[in-house]
Structure 1
Amino acid sequence: MLTIHGVTRSRASRIIWLCHELDLPFRQIPVIQAYRLPDPDAPDAPLNTRSPAFLELSPAGAIPVLEDGDLVLSESLACTLHLARKSGSPIGPADATEDALMQQWSFYAATAVEPDALTILFLHKPGQQQSGEDAAIVANAAERLVRPLLALEQHLATHKYLVGDRFTVADLNMAEVLRYAQSDHELMGQFPALREWLDRCQARPAFRKMWVERLAEPE
């Protein structure tokens, strides 16, 4: 059985969503991020990314980590790509060309979208008062996202999904990264095809199941 190390309120959500898509059974060990704890080194602290037991598995001290038999794999997108490819299902690649395209979109999500999307996640407070400095940082992040989101918009204007005109791991990976920025309605409103695609992805039963589990965890 697969083992996923990491709470669902982390990038482990990507692997968990995929496992639900594929009906893959897994065991979850809820390792929490050390920065979320007042004293992660305290004797009674929950298992976290600075716990010696976890650092033996992941010297980088980062979640998630996937154990698949003898394979120990970190980096969430590597984990989802591995499981999708291994599954032989339509969510993974049908051939080498599709495999390359799924990697392309996943790496594009990680490099061109995620850094600024995370800035929006952490600093954008819709309907709340925020400092001028934070507002300026969010505005700059949103401006930088226009170029990569425009590339996605142009693709999705003529394709229902990113690869092979079906939902695949490329869509899952990109959707989970874009989720960080979707609270910025002014930004997302510029890209109607992208928003419709994201709605389709997040309407999937496997995503909804993961999301319920995520919300059940303490913030």
Structure 2
Amino acid sequence: MKILCIADEENRGLWDHFQKEKLEGIDLILSAGDLSSDYLQFLVTMGRAPLLYVHGNHDESYSFKPPLGCESVEDRVYDFKGLRILGLGGAPWYKPGSFMYSEDEMKRRINKVKKDILLKNGFDILLTHSPVRGYGDMEDPAHRGFCAFEELLQKYKPKYMIHGHVHGNYGSAFKRELQHSSGTRIINAYDKFVLDIEEHEYPREGKTGSLLYDLYKQMKGKKE
């Protein structure tokens, strides 16, 4: 599965200088936040891949101008052809805003979504806007990562974490890829990053190992 990961800055090659072949072969687009809703709509319209997103701390305009044709995966595990994606957008609180959260608030969000994680027997990708604390974040209040993500990575050990928030022009603070101590591969999606995931890295659809969820998927498949 080929996934186009995007965040923080609209890629001019995909928008201003768009050519159809640039999206050929892309199976899924994941937005890690702080992007124009017009940009997301453009990509999902011009390509054939669905687009899933979480909010960045600057995405308050989505409340009155959401990216049409795209789907938010906030606070749930979204199943895309067997690939399980957990969405937790927003940034650590440093000023008032709709998508700013304290550590306690993020922990509460995580606790609420644990039922969905259990139902689907884990997740393969953690899609966030902010990084996990200590991995690709910065020391200033506006760009530090969430400590609350550490437990998620250590307990569930997803294959990938995709985030944004720390831009490529921030100098040595920018890290495109890091390896977490849990084994999770962390990717900063700033601008764009194409991720190829092998079939063996995630369950086949309806084969998560969760009896209840797999039965639901199988029954749904028969009806379709």
User: Would the TM-score normalized by the shorter structure come out above 0.5?
Assistant: no
Give the number of the structure whose alpha-carbon radius of gyration is greater.
1
Structure with greater proportional strand content: 2
